[in-house]
Structure 1
């Protein structure tokens, strides 16, 4: 399908927002990238990950501790993805480009591929959020139906009951299946991949092998097949579920929209920034623990409008964006508690599963 175009605006909402956000940073005299609090958090998460990994693989803890540490390892993988890799991939972790590249590169060590992620997330998802047939994040067919445009199968009437099982296998499916599909098909959904350089190919295969050694072959050698399998399943399922829930709560809830381009002109109804407001939701923004753990991705509206700004600034700029939405008559979608957002996601899935 051809890519849709966003409607031009005489008085652009996005232009006004950028003006206000720029003024804010000039007034407070802060950089738009990360600060020492973010760097300290990154160190804590990565040191914690290395410590748990070494203890599990080389010191073989008792069964109950191995299970608890496997759960914690899954949470740490998700947290590193949210806080370090994600900001780095958007160029907002640091004002230094090489530091951002290093932060984004952490995904390769954890089993993903930074090249594929950049195409899937930064290029496609952020440009065409919730647009069926283009946004790969809402394409879970045939297992789940996420928009009215997607074909409904009989099993979808139960998707609000079995969704958690699919979310649990996301991480393991991502690193062992989805990246390879994109690589060999040279596509992210309907979008062709940009040409990979020799270095990109080397990184893809080199770090897939390195991840296999680090998380499969070495642990099996050290602790045995059975103990490795139990631990590996636990940690990947926890990571997959946490990663899935955080991203799904941001876009697939009852109030978010799934706009469709005009069939004749190929144009979307709204300008890009308004499209982001309508397709994105926040949750638990007054909970500092949630914000710390998910890397500010509970401020998803702010992130989609200003991905180049680090998540440490989202609480401050959210006030500016909320006020602008009020002035322009736009609904600022927000759920005050995580459980409310989860309930809305389940209700959304139930609705999409009906005839």
Structure 2
């Protein structure tokens, strides 16, 4: 598929939104980055993960505690991905580039290449959200049918029952297979990777070695293979499912759309901002713990429209965006509670299995 082209209306809704958001930051005098609130949260999450890792690997707690701590390690891994790596990767963690780079690199220690993530997420997903054939986030073929334009297989009739299995193995798939597929094929889906220089290659392999040393080699030497494999699988399943469900609730629910460009012209009907609003959903935005834990990714609309603004500000700017959508008659998809979004995702999978 050729790169789609978004519509360019004379009166851009995106420009209107940017003007209102810029005005908010000028009036309040706030920085668009995370500041001390985000730095303190990042420090808490990283220190907590480090302590739990040390206890599990070097002090060998009893089995019930080891199981609990392994699950908590997985949850903290996801939380660091949401709060530290994600903001860092978008350049919204700090006003300093090297700090953002350091935050983004936490992905490497936890098992994912930040180089591949940048192409897959920042470049492709954020630009062409929910466009089948380009957005790699909705490509789970052949096991899951995540868009109405994808081929349907008989097994998809049951995907709303078995989807959780694939969500649970995301971390394993990511750290052991997905990055290598992209690296050796030179593509993310059908989109070519940016050419990697020598530094990128060394970084890719060096961080993979560091991750395997921290999470496979050292734990096996310290606690033995059996204890390691049980703890590692618990850790990986919790991390994988948590990461998967949060990102899927933002785009693959009943009320989001999956626009496709015209087959001849390659043009889409909407401008970019309208496209983002049609393909993205918020959930559980009044739950402070969920907002804290998922790094504001329950405010996915705000994130997609303004990815370079830290998630710390999403609750405030969401009011501005929602007001503008009401005034202009633009779709704004929001599920008030977490369980509503989960059920909508399951219903969506069920619909895709039967369509």
What TM-score bracket applies, with the shorter chain setting the length?
over 0.9
**Alignment partners' CA distance in 2, 1:34 and 1:222:** 38
Deviation by residue 1:220-264 (Cα, 9 ceiling, x = unmatched): 000000000000000000000000000000000000000010111
Partner of 1:44: 44
Structure 2 counterparts to residues 184-263 of structure 1, below 5 A:
184-263=184-263
Partner of 2:114: 114
| 1:11 and 2:14 correspond | no
Partner of 1:311: 311
Deviation by residue 1:41-77 (Cα, 9 ceiling, x = unmatched): 0000000000000000000000000000000000000
Partner of 1:291: 291
CA RMSD of aligned residues (A): 0.5
Q: CA deviation at 1:327?
A: 1.1
TM (norm. structure 2) is: 1.00
**Alignment partners' CA distance in 2, 1:154 and 1:303:** 36
| 1:172 and 2:172 correspond | yes
Q: CA deviation at 1:181?
A: 0.1
TM (norm. structure 1) is: 1.00
| 1:21 and 2:21 correspond | yes
**Alignment partners' CA distance in 2, 1:251 and 1:202:** 34
Partner of 1:301: 301
**Alignment partners' CA distance in 2, 1:334 and 1:84:** 25
Q: CA deviation at 1:216?
A: 0.4
Runs of 4+ in 1 over 2 A off after TM superposition: none
Q: CA deviation at 1:210?
A: 1.0
**Alignment partners' CA distance in 1, 2:343 and 2:284:** 13
SS in 2 for 1:3: coil
| 1:149 and 2:152 correspond | no
| 1:324 and 2:353 correspond | no
**Alignment partners' CA distance in 2, 1:348 and 1:219:** 40
Partner of 1:132: 132
SS in 1 for 2:250: helix
**Alignment partners' CA distance in 1, 2:96 and 2:204:** 24
SS in 2 for 1:244: helix
**Alignment partners' CA distance in 2, 1:204 and 1:264:** 39
| 1:98 and 2:98 correspond | yes
SS in 1 for 2:309: coil
**Alignment partners' CA distance in 2, 1:215 and 1:286:** 35
Structure 2 counterparts to residues 156-167 of structure 1, below 5 A:
156-167=156-167
**Alignment partners' CA distance in 1, 2:148 and 2:302:** 26
Q: CA deviation at 1:35?
A: 1.5
**Alignment partners' CA distance in 1, 2:9 and 2:307:** 21
**Alignment partners' CA distance in 2, 1:209 and 1:354:** 43
**Alignment partners' CA distance in 1, 2:266 and 2:4:** 5
Q: CA deviation at 1:331?
A: 1.7
Runs of 5+ unmatched residues, structure 1:
none
Partner of 2:341: 341
**Alignment partners' CA distance in 2, 1:111 and 1:53:** 15
Deviation by residue 1:169-217 (Cα, 9 ceiling, x = unmatched): 0011011000000000000011000100111000100111111111001
**Alignment partners' CA distance in 2, 1:313 and 1:244:** 24
Q: CA deviation at 1:148?
A: 1.2
**Alignment partners' CA distance in 2, 1:57 and 1:245:** 28
| 1:57 and 2:57 correspond | yes
